[in-house]
Amino acid sequence: MPKDTSIKSVLIIGSGPIVIGQACEFDYAGSQSARSIREEGIEVILINSNPATIMTDPTMADHVYLKPLTTKSIIEILKEHPQIDAVLPTMGGQTALNLCLEAEEKGIWQDFGVKLIGVDVNAINITEDREQFKQLLEKINVPTAPAKTATSYLEGKEIAQEFGFPLVIRPSFTLGGTGAAIVYKKEDFDELLTRGLEASPIHEVLIDKALMGWKEYELELLRDKNDNVVIICSIENMDPMGIHTGDSITVAPAMTLSDTTFQKLRDYAILMMRSIGNFAGGCNVQFAVSPDEKEDIVAIEINPRVSRSSALASKATGYPIAKIASKLALGYNLDELQNQITKSTSALFEPTLDYVIVKIPRWNFDKFEGADRTLGLQMKSVGEVMGIGRSFQEALHKATQSLEIKRNGLGADGKGYKNYEEIIEKLTFASWDRVFVIYDAIAMGIPLSRIHEITKIDMWFLKQYEELYTLEKEISNYKISNLPKELLLEAKQKGFADRQIAHMVNCLESEVHTLRMDQNINRVFKLVDTCAAEFKAKTPYYYSTFEAEIEKANGERYVDNESIVTDKKKIIVLGSGPNRIGQGIEFDYSCVHGVLAAKECGYETIMINCNPETVSTDFDTADKLYFEPVFWEHIYDIIQHEKPEGVIVQLGGQTALKLAEKLSKYGVKIIGTSFDALDLAEDRGRFSDLLRELHIPFPQFGIAETADEASALADTLDFPLLIRPSYVLGGQGMKIVINKKELEEHVINLLKTIPGNKLLLDHYLAGAIEAEADAICDADGNVYIIGIMEHIEPCGVHSGDSNATLPPFNLGEFVMQQIKDHTKKIARALKTVGLINIQFAIKDDTVYIIEANPRASRTVPFIAKAYGEPYVNYATKVMLGHNKVTDFDFNPQLKGYAIKQPVFSFSKFHNVNKALGPEMKSTGESILFIDDLKDDQFYELYSRRKMYLSK
């Protein structure tokens, strides 16, 4: 049956600010869904409190509300739009589902005559309430782990007595494994049980016998009104049960399952989906399989919504799950919709992969001092990367190269662990870098059987690792002059980077690159087409690999390249890689808008990025998408293939900026601000000379490269001092010290982790007010300041962690004028073309400059949303030289004030110091509009401003 004609207006609920466990995959889902529903001529109204998202752009929906996600906001919206017929809560993660349930319990949907689509209340209740879910599975004969639910401390104690240890505690109605834990010994049980009961909004936990070492699998399903079910993707976790899927290394398609077990998983998944309720939409089902030849199956859980894995499955297969799920919610059937990638087959089919994908999470433990760095049932990663290759080994290597943790892949970079005890410990208590440690263990000669016994990682994966190590050993016997072509090709096919091969044969990376060119071993680009080339695909979504040459009958040799270069003018936008603290979704927002603006200027746009959760890696954002690591070798090969007019680096945060130097060295044009100007702003010495020339005040500072130099400097500068390394984002490694002993400890510690770095020592302006300005500047030196924000917390709390108001609330006219003058002077002096962000400290009515960043900053999306103006679009057109700043008609609209509120994920790290300082710790942000400063919420923030200040 075609679409439900009674639906004319839909409310979509977003997922709010980014926290660990709920990141930008829901922006990707929400944006797709809004577009998908509007294509049908249906009005879309959207609520989300996160300003850094694409989904809250005014063009995405008919009405966008940047309001807190509460039932109060929902009632306001429903009163304003009585025409709303239906609500779609499956695109906003757990936040949206919980809000939807709360509104249901309060009778709000009923009062306003709104129906739920995409899921039903019953299904949410059954899948989230662990007791009901267990009973359901028993009824339909799907096996589960022995378990019981407890709603009180006493019940919990009784169950533990009956089951014995190890046990698993999982609270109901939570996401990202909040409050979940494995209990190995009796002594820990009391505290962990209390913590679990507190984490659940209904104070209920499920206690089950721990299936340690079982293999974990996930399936992504879609179902329509007629009960057609398709399985989009099977995902295998390389890490066994006991580590949250969000923290596991995952592989698609599943690698180590026998065919009969795979069919059983399919049957169980479909049965489970059909039995939890009669709704059209998506589901994610998780299973555990025993690691012996019996392959017993146990169902773990089912989520009736778009999840983190759906974003991964969409990017892995090219099948846009959120888009199709939204159409199904409107009443379409799968066979009536077309496959978005081939445009010639229907959506009622299951994707086939002729490649492998590997997802690796990205952690940020260095931001949480004292955090427990081992992995378990609670999700701790802040982002993820995905590598696509023709083999597991190639995909694994590409994923490790995407992480940006100063590694070039597995092994062959001199950074592996050499200490036996340390290796065994990291394997036993799963560490975040276990993916590298396995390689080090094999290199040390620890037998595979022992590694398997400790980690319970399937032998198949370990053998893949062993092959990589054997190859590295073999290549190390050669020099660059006599390295056989076959070996070089094999190393490239298994994903080794030129840098790693250079390390093995002891030469320079460029020499390996030249050798590859000479021997004609070049990257070829392949399509992600959902159907293993069975039908012709229309979407330009590529990954790279290496192939042996094919010889035709006439002796001509060639390699099959599926990425055809057009003769249009092209622009490459470098993405921002994996999410992490200090560089999150805000930069992806800027990249997407950069791509769209370059399209409007008539360029063919090319996106390079490796983050599967984002809108920038959606196959229809740019004209061409290369799903590749933002890693020098990969980018350079794409540039040589496509020959663009230039590359935009100022939108992808520090990831893209770091590549500017190399790009300009190799003669690639950087669009917008030149590399020299970018370097000038980062180089403290050159930058302060510039400020002196301009007569702009800045805090006294000095540069030190050793602990002795630092100590001598301290005598001239006076404590308190702020210490920071150069070229970092998010205040990494910054600290305020108040005496020589602290100074020495921190400097030695920093130089150990970042050898050869120049450290900056600033005199810290205690009690100063902090403010920042963002501006757009063009090649003729026209500057337009898009927004000035004042921080509510005093100087010394990182700008990303402080609450800030737009416009400022108590800076006098005299101070505001200084800020405007300084901003314009600096933007011109740095020859900025595009965006620039400048941070100020204000003390005794003097405005000091803290730093200037000639790139898109974290606050740009916030200012754009608050004022309702597409600033990134304007800035990109200025960078491309398509427009001057004076061409635009700026007309900011804002009644009252907008407040940027940071959001933290401290709940995941129990014994972490919650104090704020110069190092950024927040994972996301939300926006709050107030009419005036008498507002209670503003007053509360202002009165608490000094509470968490620390060094």
Ramachandran area for residue 628 (φ above 0: left; ψ -120 to 50: alpha; else beta)? beta
User: Could you tell me if residue 260 is inside a domain?
Assistant: yes
Residues 707 and 659 in one domain: no
Q: Are residues 606 and 727 located together in one domain of the fold?
A: no
Domains contained in the chain, number: 7
Answer yes or no: is 373 within a domain. Answer: no
Which three-class secondary structure state does DSSP give residue 777? strand
Say if residue 500 is in the same domain as residue 445: yes
If we measure between CA atoms, which residue out of 864, 862, 811, 863 comes closest to residue 840?
Answer: 811
> CA end-to-end span of the chain, whole Å?
63
Alpha-carbon torsion angle 845, 846, 848, 853, nearest 10: 60
Q: Are residues 808 and 895 in the same domain?
A: yes
Say yes or no: 720 and 864 in one domain.
no
Using a CB cutoff of 8 Å and minimum separation of 24, what contacts does 82-85 make?
Answer: 82/112, 83/8, 83/9, 83/43, 84/9, 84/10, 84/11, 84/45, 84/112, 84/114, 85/6, 85/7, 85/8, 85/9, 85/10, 85/113, 85/114, 85/115
Return the closest-CA partner of residue 61 out of 13, 120, 114, 6. Answer: 13
Residues 564 and 710 grouped into a single domain: no
- CA-to-CA distance for 223 and 120, rounded, in angstroms? 13
Residue 417 is predicted with a pLDDT of 92
> Are 810 and 910 part of one and the same domain?
yes
- Which CATH number is 742's domain given? 3.30.1490.20
- 626 is a domain residue: yes
Residue 450: its pLDDT value, please? 97
The pLDDT of residue 548: 86
Structural domain containing residue 741: 699-761
Q: For residue 394, what is the enclosing H or E element?
A: helix 392-402
Residue reference for tokens 């977003």: 14
**pTM for the predicted model, two decimal places:** 0.93
> Does a cis peptide bond (omega within 30 degrees of 0) precede residue 720?
yes
Query: What is the spatial distance between Cα 124 and Cα 103, in angstroms, rounded to a whole number?
Result: 13
CATH number at residue 605: 3.40.50.20
- Quote the DSSP letter at residue 943: H
Partners of 840 in the beta sheet?
Answer: 771, 849
41, with CB counted inside 10 A (0-12, 13-18, 19+), is: exposed
Please tell me the predicted confidence (pLDDT) of residue 175: 66
* Rounded CA separation 413/443 (Å): 13
Question: Which of 721, 739, 761 corresponds to the end of one domain?
Answer: 761
pLDDT at position 1 is 42
Please count the other Cβ atoms lying within 10 Å of the Cβ belonging to residue 97.
Answer: 25
Residues 773 and 909 in one domain: yes
Say yes or no: 561 and 493 in one domain: no
Is 293 among the domain residues? yes
CATH code at position 485: 1.10.1030.10
Tell whether 813 and 904 lie within a shared domain. yes
Phi, psi of 798 (to 5 degrees): -55, 140
Strands 86-88 and 115-116 turn out to be: parallel
Domain shared by 434 and 481, yes or no: yes
Residue 951 in any domain: the answer is no
**CA–CA dist 62, 74 (Å, integer):** 16
Q: E strands within 629-677?
A: 646-648
Beta strands 43-47 and 63-65 are: parallel
Rounded alpha-carbon distances, angstroms, from residue 804 to 49, 807, 912: 15, 9, 25
311: CATH: 3.30.470.20
Instruction: Compute mean pLDDT per 10 residues along the chain, 951 residues long, and list them.
Output: 80 92 89 94 96 94 96 97 95 91 95 93 86 92 89 87 84 76 83 86 85 92 93 95 92 94 96 90 94 92 86 92 93 88 83 95 86 87 95 97 92 90 94 95 96 95 97 96 95 96 95 94 91 78 91 84 93 95 92 97 97 93 96 96 96 91 95 93 88 93 83 83 73 79 82 76 87 97 97 89 94 96 97 96 94 94 96 97 97 95 85 81 92 88 65 43
Provide the total of helices (H) and of strands (E) in the chain, helices listed first. Answer: 31, 35
Say how far apart CA 745 and CA 754 lie, in whole Å: 14
Per the omega criterion (within 30 degrees of 0), is the bond before 807 cis?
yes
User: Is residue 427 domain-resident?
Assistant: yes
Between helix 448-455 and helix 434-444 the angle, nearest 10°, is 150
Residue 646: predicted pLDDT: 97
For residue 715, being part of any structural domain is answered with yes
Residue 821 near residue 853 (C-beta atoms within 8 A): no
Tokens 């439900």 map to which residue? 4
Which pLDDT does position 413 carry in this prediction? 85
Q: What angle do CA 793, 51, 85 make, to 5 degrees?
A: 135
Q: What are phi and psi of 831, to 5 degrees?
A: 50, 45
Do 804 and 912 lie in a common domain? Answer: yes
Output the CA–CA distances (angstroms, integers) from residue 273 to 224, 257, 266, 285, 350, in the order listed.
11, 22, 11, 8, 17
pLDDT at 755: 72
215 is a domain residue: no
Question: From CA 430, how far away is CA 475, in angstroms rounded?
Answer: 30
Full 3-state SS string of 305-332? CCCHHHHHHHHHHCCCHHHHHHHHHCCC
